[in-house]
Chains A and B, each alone.
Chain A
């Protein structure tokens, strides 16, 4: 209760209430996450249940157009799945991959950055050189080549089965240097302070100092980049799926839905690609807007026109 009261009176909450962009973007983000969590309850059809799918229903336009049907609000895709339900499930997959990948890269990056910053010396030199080297190659290239290698190593069938954990792994691997650098930079700042000195004098072991004393004080920048990274990860997932190196068409994600609909744009079935596309853009846009606001509030020094 007391924590809530403190939060309610904080500058953070005050500026949140005063900023319409933050309010709207966070509400939309929260709404979309809720919708994706409860997709099985909300969606009128289950796209994974092949017994309810009829290929005869394929490519029905949205209900307000000529030839549209009441039961399929946003029309159907090429396999005869209800597009609205499929999008909800797709959003669920995309959000899960996005958050999973950010958790994975965050943990990896924090461990590396904390070790490099606290231990210093050769360990620091080595770890940061590795991060530098990976950083010099665009993350998308790393992700695409990694997933191509995985797809060849596992074979297409096995890859499709394991697509979700593998994508989390791939996107996590391609993005960890960002966390490692951020954490290392703030660890270097914290390391000089008296409380770390004090902890060392008491004789606490280094691992405890690193994780219990320094880590909590470096979490603000981690939080700031995490929001942007979620948007980034969702977009990476979409890009990989669009290239055919991510989620298969049978397991809808926003990227694989866009990919599946893309060929049918030429024949005039614009809705199969358009609606998932709008959903993807909306999701990434609100996450980016919220992340920008978070960065400005938590770090006023960074603010720039």
Chain B
């Protein structure tokens, strides 16, 4: 687990007796400030990588003009665009533009790169949403059942399947699903998003029957990478809790079975599961790249791979910056929430 660390200075501050509430609050404040500063630093680094890629690979002049423009005209254009300025000045300009939402213009789409990414985002988010729903629907009942009845044939089957499931790459699952349900049985569509409706600028497939049918296979294959892990996690947490003293006490009190299992045991397995879920949703996002490729799902990942094929540097850099910012924001928020909930994180430093 990633725990944010405090520097030695603040550790000295809290050494010994418990800090007073006031000190605690200022510590928390210092922690948030430090965490935000670190996030800004990371964003600058990501922006610099993006800038370096654009600076060394992309040629904005090529993106703008055709073949017939003469060398002198190109040179004039370069001067006009500021491409002959010192590197740091150009980097400053890059950051300034990025802060105003200008990440360059896509060479292929002839539109601002950020617009292209934003227009593809709903597809990816809906895919992640669909997979999350499937994971949540299945992992709790199956995980609890395998913990309560570890010797039942169903539990053994699930455990064997989840061991194999970890070793099967998501694109193989997807191909098998396509072959079975798309090619042989012809039950479900295998590519694209189907009919979508536009609700307040958000193209959604969740509201049409056709869109939902298109969503089934991609979200099932995306959920297949996380489902085995969650079932195992819930099972082992639950089995651990079932061994504790207070569960024995609950049995001794003569409570009903369901009350002990669900109210006493299951509730206490939730915290670690939620913690892991927050972190792993980013991994789910990473695997959308593979799922989108197999199903030709018109999301951000599919767009990114098309951009690489077409050498669309501006779009690639914009994607890099957007994804970087997304992860930095998520991680910072999660860390600060941990800090608020769990004082150990704030006060204790790294082990």
Contact in complex: A243, B2 (CB < 8 Å): no
Q: Mark B319-351, 1 if CB is under 8 A from A, else 0.
A: 110011001100100000000000000000011
Contact in complex: A239, B313 (CB < 8 Å): no
Q: Does chain A have a CB within 8 A of B196?
A: no
What is the interface of chain A, defined by CB distance below 8 A to chain B?
Answer: 125, 128-129, 132-133, 135-141, 144-145, 148-149, 151-153, 185, 188, 231, 235, 238-239, 242-245, 258, 262, 265-266, 268, 270, 273, 277, 280-281, 284-285, 288-289, 304-305
B52 to chain A, nearest CB (A): 9
CA–CA, A292 to B324, complex, Å?
A: 33
Which one, B169, B236, B283, contacts A138 given CB within 8 A?
B283
**B313 contact set on A, CB distance < 8 A:** 152
Q: Does chain A have a CB within 8 A of B65?
A: no
Report the 6 A-B pairs with minimum CB-CB distance, sorted nearest first: A285-B167, A138-B286, A140-B286, A284-B167, A136-B331, A148-B308
Contact in complex: B57, A153 (CB < 8 Å): yes
Q: Is the interface of A mostly helix, strand, loop or mixed?
A: helix
CA–CA, A74 to B344, complex, Å?
A: 59
Contact in complex: A244, B168 (CB < 8 Å): no
**Residue from B2, B178, B286 with most neighbouring chain A CB atoms (10 Å):** B286
Closest A-chain residue to B287, C-beta based?
Answer: A140
Instruction: Answer whether A265 and B311 are a contact pair too, CB < 8 Å, given A141-B286, A288-B166.
Output: no
Contact in complex: B308, A245 (CB < 8 Å): yes
A143 to chain B, nearest CB (A): 9
What band does the interface of chain B fall in when counting residues whose beta carbon is under 8 Å from A?
A: 35 or more
Contact in complex: B164, A285 (CB < 8 Å): yes
Q: Does chain A have a CB within 8 A of B120?
A: no
| Interface hit among B201-209, B215-223, B267-275, B288-296 | B288-296
**A153 contact set on B, CB distance < 8 A:** 53, 56-57
**B239 contact set on A, CB distance < 8 A:** 305
Contact in complex: A138, B57 (CB < 8 Å): no
B33 to chain A, nearest CB (A): 16
Q: Which of B209-258 contact A (CB under 8 A)?
A: 235-236, 239-240
Closest B-chain residue to A152, C-beta based?
Answer: B57
CA–CA, A182 to B323, complex, Å?
A: 27
Q: Does chain A have a CB within 8 A of B139?
A: no
Known: A138-B285, A145-B319, A258-B175. 6 other contacts (CB 8 A): A138-B282, A138-B286, A140-B286, A140-B287, A239-B171, A266-B178
Offer 26 A-B interface pairs, CB within 8 angstroms, sorted by A: A125-B5, A125-B7, A133-B45, A135-B2, A136-B282, A136-B327, A136-B328, A137-B282, A138-B285, A144-B286, A145-B320, A148-B308, A149-B53, A152-B57, A152-B316, A153-B56, A188-B351, A242-B290, A244-B305, A244-B308, A245-B305, A262-B175, A265-B178, A281-B169, A289-B163, A305-B239
**B287 contact set on A, CB distance < 8 A:** 140
Q: Does chain A have a CB within 8 A of B172?
A: yes
Contact in complex: A140, B289 (CB < 8 Å): yes
A283 to chain B, nearest CB (A): 8
**A137 contact set on B, CB distance < 8 A:** 282, 324, 327
